[in-house]
Amino acid sequence: MKQIVYADNAATTKLDEEALEAMLPFFVDDYANASQPYSFARGAKKAIRKAREIIASCINALPEEIYFTSGGTESDNWAIKNVVLSRSEHRMTITSSIEHHAVLRSCEAIERAGYPVVYLRPDAVGRVQVKTLEDAMTDKTGLVSIMLANNEIGTIQAIKDLASIAHRYGAIFHTDAVQAVGHVKVDVQDLGVDMLSASAHKFNGPKGVGFLYIRKGTEVISYQDGGSQENALRAGTENTAGIVGMAVALKRNCEQLDQHVTHIKRLEDMLIAMLDETGIAYARNGGQETLPGLISLSFHNADGEAILHRLDLQGICVSTGAACNSKETKISHVLQAIGLEEDYAKGTVRISLGRHNTEEDIENIVAAIKKILQ
Ligand code: PLP
């Protein structure tokens, strides 16, 4: 296989080897359905209980506040659509216009069902100002959903302040923390959130598994009906191996968080310094407080999609913020919401570094960008 420089860790991450090791027995040895009463199912049941405890302790929650799902998309759908399922009197939802499509499309679905949604516009670096939320709040607001960190430009939101505004009006506060969990410190008590979405494959866990944190006492209705798994709120045979792998991956990322952040930040600084040396004109999106290693760059008068394909020819994986068809360039909703000028937006590339990246990767990325753009 061609040597790959993987710099798209916001899309997905490499599975942690210890997580893989921990998962394997649940495919071939301890394969019992965890909900069965016989002793053969004890291993799976115990493993899920332990995984729930580990995950809860990583985000400072109680084990019974962790609900396993199939990933970030499902967790977001559950949190948003809960307002319709519960037929709450507080019908209005407030979110931001830079959320992931898992939130935005769920919001569009509840709008079609007659539940109004207000989309807050962030500032030029992608921050939702507390005052903007405060001005939009009414006594009809049932839910506020603002992501912890943006997946395209990395902006980290002032969740604690935003959640406290929501609570002042009696609304539930949900945060999509899919990009943040395992990468920055996430403490649900400190943040004061009522619901939080996470996805294992974003923090070196397996794909197809995640969780929704639901604070004890928060009014929620069953999202997926069937068996009595997950306290009868999310039915379906448990993905034992996935859940176990997710817990091990999260524990390892949280234990080594400082080390990883230091390593990734160093590579990030190196990339920016090397890029500056080239003299190529670019703008960096997302402001001062961004996810470690998430580097959204907008090159002036360039074509982000063409850069992506030319990097791909050299085995370098990154993402873009604008996609072209033969007639037009479609600039992402996030870049549009922050008001980035078109000359820059069209040339946007997202480089997202992870703990497995090296200095050599950075040298290769910058050398390739230089060759393409000069
Ligand atoms: N929310 C955010 C912020 C994301 O970045 C993603 C994935 O890219 C999701 C939700 C969806 O997560 P999953 O891939 O686990 O469905």
Q: Please state whether the predicted TM-score (pTM) of the whole model is above 0.85.
A: yes
Please tell me the distance between residue 102's alpha carbon and the centre of ligand 1 in angstroms.
7
- Average pLDDT on 20-49 reads 97
Give residue-wise pLDDT tens across range 325-370. 556 678 999 999 999 999 999 999 999 999 999 999 999 999 999 9
Residue 151 CB less than 6 A away from ligand 1: yes
Q: What is the pLDDT of residue 3?
A: 87
Element (H, E) at 148: none
Average pLDDT, the chain: 96
Q: Which amino acid is at 286?
A: G
324 is catalytic: yes
Please tell me the distance between residue 52's alpha carbon and the centre of ligand 1 in angstroms.
21
Phi and psi at residue 293, to the nearest 5°: 85, -5
Element (H, E) at 296: strand 294-299
Which residue has 């402001």 as its token pair? 287
Q: Which of 67, 352, 49 is nearest to 203 (CA)?
A: 352
The dihedral sign for the CA sequence 277, 280, 283, 284: negative
Give residue-wise pLDDT tens across range 278-294. 999 999 999 999 999 99
Residue 182 CB less than 6 A away from ligand 1: no
Q: Which residues make beta-bridge pairs with 324?
A: 329
Q: Is 181 helix (H, G, I), strand (E, B) or coil?
A: strand
> 66-69 and 210-214 as β-strands: parallel, antiparallel, unpaired?
antiparallel
For residue 199, the tally of other CB atoms under 10 A from its CB is: 29
Distance CA(217)–CA(246), nearest Å, equals: 25
Atom of ligand 1 nearest to the CA of 150: 3
Q: Is 180 helix (H, G, I), strand (E, B) or coil?
A: coil
- Average pLDDT on 5-27 reads 98
Residue 359: HSE in the Cβ half-sphere, 13 Å Cα cutoff = 3
Please tell me the distance between residue 77's alpha carbon and the centre of ligand 1 in angstroms.
11
Name the band, by pLDDT with cuts 50, 70 and 90, for residue 250. Answer: very high
